[in-house]
Amino acid sequence: MKKCLFHFFSLLTFTFFCISLQAQDQDDNSSLVQFSGITITADSLNPVPYAKIFDVCSHRGTTSDINGYFSFVAHQHDTVVFTALGFKPVSFIIPDTITKQRYSLIQLMSADTLTLAAAFIFPWPTLEDFKRAFVETKIPDDDLEIARKNLLAADIRMRAEEYPMDANMNYRNYIDNQTSKLYYYGQIQPYNIFNPFAWAKFIKAWKDGKFKSQKERLK
């Protein structure tokens, strides 16, 4: 008799346990929600792509696409955390008063401004390298210095014509003339009448009396 009663109560306990598990499973299924939405910026309402959406309760989540859209399965009353690079984290609790098994959300995310410490970048590793570079660095010529050198070179050429030309100078003059002919091949070469250096040479020779006849020079 006692053995029959023991089996009866064991069977009754197992039945109640199965009913409880079934009811709990039905309650869990009824609380499931297809949680969907988009993540956008709070100031300009632009999509926030690749935001991380994490369910703290179920330890599941997803990532929003390039348009900020996301969707995954969660439960009612779960806490969902939204994080994205350059934005402040935001948490949201799914309401437990939902009558349907889907819920949509437009999540606004505020920009997070980070203040970084100042960084100083030097092109030289040590102070000695800086001093050496400061002393040995060759500063390029400015426009005024370039013009001065050009005028100096022109003056040297004018003065050189007053002295007899050696073999090297004759060769250089010949090459310059041939180069000028090839450069203006098929074209009309410019006349020296428009050459300011030729005019300067003529005026200097006239002042020096090079155009006077030999008799006038003897006087």
Q: Are 131 and 209 part of one and the same domain? A: yes
Q: Are 174 and 108 part of one and the same domain? A: no
Res 165: pLDDT? 59
Full domain range(s) for residue 68: 33-115
Domain termination site, one of 115, 145, 177:
115
Q: Are 188 and 111 part of one and the same domain? A: no
Determine, yes or no, domain membership for 5.
no
Q: Are 159 and 102 part of one and the same domain? A: no
Determine, yes or no, domain membership for 26.
no
Where on the phi/psi map is residue 115: left (φ > 0), alpha (ψ -120 to 50), or beta? beta
Q: Are 44 and 87 part of one and the same domain? A: yes
Q: Tell me the backbone φ, ψ of residue 111, rounded to 5 degrees.
A: -70, 145
Residue type, 131: K
Which residues of the chain, if any, have pLDDT below 50?
2-3, 5-9, 11-12, 14-27, 214-215, 217-218
Does pTM surpass 0.75? no
Q: Are 82 and 163 part of one and the same domain? A: no
H helix or E strand, kind and range, residue 146: helix 143-160
Over residues 68-115, the pLDDT tens digits come to 999 999 998 899 999 998 899 999 999 988 888 889 999 999 998 877
Residue 63 belongs to domain with CATH number? 2.60.40.1120
- Distance CA(89)–CA(58), nearest Å, equals 19
Domain termination site, one of 115, 137, 172:
115
Q: Are 183 and 208 part of one and the same domain? A: yes
| Number of domain units in the chain | 2
